Amino acid sequence: MSLIQDLTPINLKEEKQKFFEKDCNYDPQFKYKTLVTLDKLHRYGKPKPEYITLAQKILNKAFENKTIDDLRNLQGPKITAEQGKVMIKKFLKENKMDDEIKVVWIKGHISKISIYKNRLKIRKEFDFRQRQFQASIYHELGTHALRRINYLQQPFFNKKNKHNFRKYLFTEEGLGSLHSLLASKLQLSYFNALHYLATDMAQQKSFVETFNFINQYMQNIEKSWLITVKIKRGTYDTSQPGGFTKSVVYLEGMVKVWRYLKKSNFDVEGLYLGKIDVNDIPLARELNPGFKPKLPNFYTDNPDKYQEKITEIAQVNYFESLKESS
């Protein structure tokens, strides 16, 4: 069983009903199939003070004289599932991935969209704006799927422990998050910033307190519930401090990947050698010299524009304000 499955409450539906019946003023009492331990909850570390400051700056800038509806409207008009299918088909064809990916529509899927191996999973209850869905395609297909397709061709596929490769999730999600913003009109990573601050709050506060913090920005109790569950899952009595800290990887990962790109003169090829950490790019090249990875067309169509936009994203999100040791 995967970590996410371990941390998914088996009584989620019942506790959600209680939460809304009590006007969002109830701390769920979650149950799990297997014992949840602190090492599982804190596998990705805890929020860091310098990133908490960064996240607050991003959030303040995004919501300055704007509501969440204003920010959502910047993502273009709402689209139908049929329009979404056309966008997916177009991206897969342009990137010669038609035969590599299977698209699966799932009723009540916990994520709006996600990818596992070669299966792109999309919630049947489709709720996306045009730019938002394009961002998801760049993240899931243009980043995660392509890195895996390249990884499958490597001699170190399924042998990373043997070669002492590092954990790669910060690089994986950091790159995906940067690529999401390429498709966005607003290049502020306010959603990842909100998740970061909420993760920090969950370590100190209850479910209800964390929910209220999130909802003051989201202004949507259903969406705020989903985010709070993601962050407080793994706890039994959610009135107590604690929760799952995976959400830190997105913001911290973006900075990590940006620093690599800046130092390497935008070595995008290195980032697509497989599902690896930026620090293992030299090792990957050593194990398979001359390997040319498949790259996304949002990079290959215009590398200069890609570099320009990623640099702008870093500036807008104050990445340079962090010390290199962070």
Rounded to the nearest 5°, which phi and psi values hold at 153? -90, 0
**pLDDT for res 323:** 82
Tell me: pLDDT of 1 over 70: no
Measure the CA–CA gap between 227 and 216, rounded to whole angstroms.
13
Is 41 part of any domain? yes
Q: Of 15, 125, 140, 286, which residue is the catalytic one? A: 140
Q: What is the pLDDT of residues 230-272, one digit of tens each?
A: 999 999 999 999 999 999 999 999 999 999 999 999 999 999 9
pLDDT band at 185 (very low <50, low <70, confident <90, very high): confident
122 close to 112: Cβ distance less than 8 angstroms: yes
Is 85 part of any domain? no
Annotated catalytic, 140? yes
Tell me: pLDDT of 301 over 70: yes
Is 229 part of any domain? no
C-alpha neighbours within 13 Å on the C-beta side of residue 181:
28
Is 289 part of any domain? yes
Tell me: pLDDT of 273 over 60: yes
Tell me: pLDDT of 68 over 80: yes
Predicted TM-score (pTM) of the model is 0.95
Is 256 part of any domain? yes
Is 116 part of any domain? no
Rounded to the nearest 5°, which phi and psi values hold at 194? -65, -45
Instruction: Give CA separation, 198 vs 192, 203, 320, in Å.
Output: 10, 9, 23
Is 67 part of any domain? yes
Is 216 part of any domain? no
Provide the domain count of the chain. 1
Mean pLDDT over each residue of the chain, to the nearest integer: 95
Contacts of 235 (CB under 8 A, 6+ apart): 30, 36, 41, 207, 242, 243
**pLDDT for res 296:** 98
Residue type, 317: N
Measure the CA–CA gap between 236 and 250, rounded to whole angstroms.
25
Q: What is the pLDDT of residues 30-55, one digit of tens each?
A: 999 999 999 999 999 999 999 999 99
Full residue range of the structural domain in which residue 72 is found: 36-76+166-203+245-321
